[in-house]
Amino acid sequence: MGVKRSLQSGGTLLGFLAQILMILSAATNYWIRYPGGHSGLWQECNGGICSNIPCQTMLAATGACMVLAATSAVVGLVMGLRILCHEGDLRGQITSATFFLCGLLLLIALTGYTVKNAWKNNVFFSWSYFSGWLALPFSILAGFCFLLADMMVQGTDAISGFPVCL
């Protein structure tokens, strides 16, 4: 397996890990903990009783960005798997741009949520929130893997006509 193939495989694996962490983060309601309960993007639990959170602008924006990030990660994974299986003639630049978009959406969602909750007393961020932050570098690294692999393909294509032995 060459370097290009290793980068593409690594990008697909990192994208898959980012996707799992994003789904885990968005679906669970342990973004913040406070005395007597915990809360997520969709539900708030107090004393063991969970209820839906009324619509708040920042929570709605955070939830929308998380869903869009997860969707773009799915698109990036499909494109990455197609590149690995040699189906279609997709370039790695589009796949890397998709993973970078996923990272940008994650950054927007998590920064907005952080700004909303960082200065509250007796509120602590919890594991759902941190799994969202952990998905961010995986998504960005997946984008870089596909970008580097595509740069190698373009470099090889550019010098393929020269009678040089590399």
Could you give the domains of the chain? 1-161 (1.20.140.150)
Q: What is the structure's pLDDT at 55?
A: 83
CA distances 122 to 41, 83, 133, Å, are 18, 48, 21
Residues 19-50: tens digit of each pLDDT = 999 999 999 999 999 898 999 888 999 988 88
Those residues with Cβ within 8 angstroms of residue 64's Cβ, 6 or more apart along the chain or in another chain: none
Average pLDDT taken over every residue of the chain: 87
Q: How confident is the model at residue 4 (pLDDT cuts 50, 70, 90)?
A: confident
49 token code pair: 């009783």
C-alpha–C-alpha distance, residues 12 and 145, integer Å: 9
Specify the pTM. 0.86
Query: Considering only CA atoms, which of 29, 10, 13 is closest in space to residue 149?
Result: 10
Region 52-58 average pLDDT:
85
Q: How many CB atoms lie within 10 A of CB 45?
A: 16
Residue 65 and residue 105 in contact, taking contact as beta carbons nearer than 8 Å: yes
Residues 115-165: tens digit of each pLDDT = 988 888 888 999 999 999 999 999 999 999 999 988 886 666 555 565 554
